[in-house]
Amino acid sequence: MVLNRKVAFIDLSKEKVVIREIPRELRKIHLGGRGLNWYYIYNNVSPETKPFDPENLFVVGAGFLTGLPMLGTGRTQISTKGPMTNGVGDANMGGAFGPEMRYAGFDHLVIRGRAKEPVYLFVNDGEIEIRKANHLWGLNTHETQRTIKEEIGDERVESMVIGRAGENKVYFANVMNGNKNAGGRGGTGAVMGSKNLKAIACRGLIDLEVHDPDKLMEYAIQMNEQVLSTKWAKTLSRLGTPLLYDVSYTTGFIGTKNWQYNTPGSEGEPLEAENLQRYMVKHVACMGCSVHCRHRVKIEKGEYAGLIAEGPEYTMMGSFGTLVGCYDWDFVIKGNDECNKWGIDNLSLGAVISWAFELYQREILSEKDVGFKLEWGDKDAVLELARMIVEREGIGDVLADGFLKASKKFGEGSEYYAIHVKGHPDLHTDERGIPSFALGIATSTRGADHLRSRPAIDLFQLPQDFLERLIGYRIKNDFTAYETKGILVWWFELYFNIVDSLGICKFQSTFNCPHCPQYDEYVPLLEYATGMKFTKEELMTIGERNYTMERLFNILNGMGKKDDYPPKRFFEEPNPRGLPFMKGRKLDKERYEEMLMEYYKQHGWDENGVPTDETLRKLQIGDPEPNFPEV
């Protein structure tokens, strides 16, 4: 049954594993995936614990519906106390690792300690083995996965691995599965590296039985057809996430040259999605997905001729594109492939590199500091600085620690040009003209982020009656407005938490498409899969409970209202380019404050963003109670 998957508590220092059932009552109040991951971390990681301490937990969770044939349920949640913010470090990864972990008998792996030497875990049909990995240390993520398959003797093994960035504890190192499935944010790969854990490999043949297979299959077909009928899915199936670049570029909210500009203007040929088609070999998909949004590409000629890779996604078009002043698809594809092999969050890497370029432009950094010139559009300089960060060489060693630590070393004035929230780099979207987006990145529990609450449908100017039916409140349909947008961000925070806790792909949710399934459609899906009955209201309460637990974790680790603001640049410098409704816009501090208060009130938090006692009682959240079993 879906409900009979286990949780494994693994202590790498003691080389011990304890396997437990997951109580049904925990499912009822947290579901799985992200929700249960943070239940374990909230209760077992103290404020005194530092991200690279052995006592920190590294938790891998499959969503409650991961591995089922609908809605892109190939998702895996990776959670830890992250080095970027010293708070919530969290990543959501596609591919097939999560499903394979479930087929191997486990929904959650809760890992603490530090191995004496490099190791990897082999999870196989209800058992977990700790194996030596000295021979894997130093390999890139692709080489590591191939070697593990050969060693185990099974091509169907799915591995979650780190590369050189994780081994070197680069603060924004990620974890990888397959060619490009990335648990990209929060520094999860760095924490994995700090534990001398090179990889987790899974292989399973345990049936994932469901409560009512006939109804589930009928409903799964209906859900897939609903998604595929939308214009969003049809376009995504052809162009992938690069389609988002075209909207951003045309309108004027794409970060350029470290957010000095909000669109490239005439300085470079735009990296339009249609131009990627000439590289495409085929489309591929994660497990459980009918959309197939991912490009497999090949560069036929030029400097990188013969390179075959997957991607790039929208994020890379900024990271090695607009943010650093490069407008070359070959280079973006090459950079994407290198990032995947290094095991590093390309979004954070691009933000840190573009920051260094602007510091050089403003003479805060010099050629002597770097070792070479940092001039916008210099592809060799971008790639070399990226390599130095991964290997922690020279100035790369400073940049590898992220904005907060690096700005202290670079001196006064440098942090202003670092576009981050809570130390976490922002996506290359420019939020100055979209208040709901700005609030979303500012209040995100993992720092500046577009996948915690971004209400992308705010851009669609949908009818207010439709929004009222969807959200439950009358929301202004002008995306430049501040009023009611605190409520909109609140709704998406809860909704995205449920999506992550179920293991569903956000691209098959209302994130970018108002006609994709949401709460009401999830209710029968859960019953057919698990036999458990939920109401829409109960699911929203679960989302509120899980999100508030993450908020409390950050508060316990020193964060608060002071950390709920977008970068200063967004308040002080107006957009210099874009369409008439975007050009000249910057955030209004007073109106933003009112929107923030509306957001706090909707959550049941006080004027400082702290959950009230009444809210905590309603959500059944108490003080942390350590529950990692003795091993």
Which has the closest alpha carbon to 498: 528, 518, 525? 518
Tell which wins on pLDDT, 579 or 111: 111
Give the tens place of pLDDT for each residue, 486-506: 999 999 999 999 999 999 999
Q: List, for residues 579-601, the tens digit of each pLDDT value.
A: 888 899 999 999 999 999 999 99
pLDDT for 581 equals: 84
Average pLDDT, the chain: 95
Mean pLDDT lowest among 197-206, 234-243, 423-432, 613-622: 234-243
Q: What is the pLDDT of residue 210?
A: 94
In this model, does residue 1 exceed pLDDT 70?
A: no
Are 379 and 328 in contact by the 8 Å Cβ rule? The answer is yes
pLDDT at 267 over 80: no
**Which domains does the chain possess?**
2-203 (3.60.9.10), 241-420 (1.10.569.10), 435-619 (1.10.599.10)
First to last CA, the chain: 27
pLDDT band at 605 (very low <50, low <70, confident <90, very high): very high
The first and second tokens of residue 347, run together, are 């979004």
Cis before 118? omega within 30: no
CA distances in angstroms from 456 to 315, 513, 629, listed in the order given = 15, 8, 42
In this prediction, residue 137 carries a pLDDT of: 98
DSSP 475-538: ----TT--TTHHHHHHHHHHHHHHHHHHT--GGGTTTS-TTS--HHHHHHHHHHHHS----HHH
pLDDT of residue 304: 95
Average pLDDT over residues 239-246: 85
User: Predicted confidence band at 239 (pLDDT cuts at 50, 70, 90)?
Assistant: confident
pLDDT confidence of residue 631: 78
pLDDT value at residue 97: 97
Residue with the larger pLDDT of the pair 479 and 2: 479
What pLDDT score was predicted for residue 269? 75
Stretch 314-332: mean pLDDT: 93
Question: Judging by beta carbons within 10 Å of its beta carbon (0-12, 13-18, 19+), is residue 54 exposed, middle or buried?
Answer: middle
* pLDDT band, residue 265 (cuts 50/70/90): confident
In 3D, which of 46, 50, 400, 13 has the Cα closest to residue 195?
Answer: 13
**Rounded Cα gap, residues 155 and 149, in angstroms:** 6
